[in-house]
Amino acid sequence: MADRISNLLSEYENHISLSWPVVASGEERSIFAIYKPEDELKLRARVEAFEHFTKVHGYYWQLLDITHAFEQWLTDQDYAEAYFENPEYLEANYEFFAEDLAQQLREQIKKESENDASKTVVALLGCGTLFGITSVSGLVRQLADVIQGRLLVFFPGEKDDNTYRLLDAKNGWGYLATALKG
């Protein structure tokens, strides 16, 4: 019996092999690769397999790893030391981090889209690191319309009906993306 990540890879390959509809909204062009949070390291060890299947089916690949985005943003802040001494002051700045991250990723997507952008899968890795800081849903919405091809979101959590829950949190949000589960 195959493990959950192998099952997720198989679902991804089946999905990516289908022709892409010409007219689709940003949300409809999004793909959520949903996996159990405890499988994070297993997924990271196999990200290159997702890239391989993407390229085998004639598409380009762009990986955006946001794992260290918050800590990099924080060290660039003028008051970083004060935030370490009084972390409660940092909470008011989470919105600025979210805006900066979205802007940085949009610029990176545009800058690195050397190939046919409509045939590119932009993969977003490290979403679990946003937990408690900002919402994945807000980030995905800001990126989805910039991406002309597909947005693949590696999502450690679950989906019940049309509700996505990051790291199995109690709250979640509705989204129209295609959900692939391992």
How far are the Cα atoms of 20, 36, 125, 142, 173 from residue 135, in angstroms, in the given order?
28, 18, 14, 11, 10
Average pLDDT over residues 58-66: 96
Residue range 77-134, pLDDT digits in tens: 887 788 888 888 888 888 999 999 999 999 999 887 667 888 999 999 999 999 888 9
Closest CA to 164 of 133, 141, 142, 146: 141
Residues listed for the chain: 182
d(CA 142, CA 131): 17
Handedness of CA 38, 41, 42, 46 (dihedral sign): positive
pTM of the model: 0.87
Q: Are strands 30-35 and 150-160 parallel, antiparallel or unpaired?
A: parallel
| Range in 1-5, 43-47, 165-169 the model is least confident about | 165-169
* The predicted structure's pLDDT at residue 82: 81
Q: What is the pLDDT of residue 51?
A: 98
- Per-residue pLDDT tens for 4-60? 999 999 999 999 999 888 788 888 888 999 999 999 999 999 999 999 999 999 999
Residue 166: pLDDT over 80: no
What's the confidence (pLDDT) of residue 1? 47
Long-range pairs, 103-108, Cβ under 8 A, ≥24: 104/69, 105/64, 105/66, 105/139, 105/143, 106/142, 106/143, 106/146, 108/64
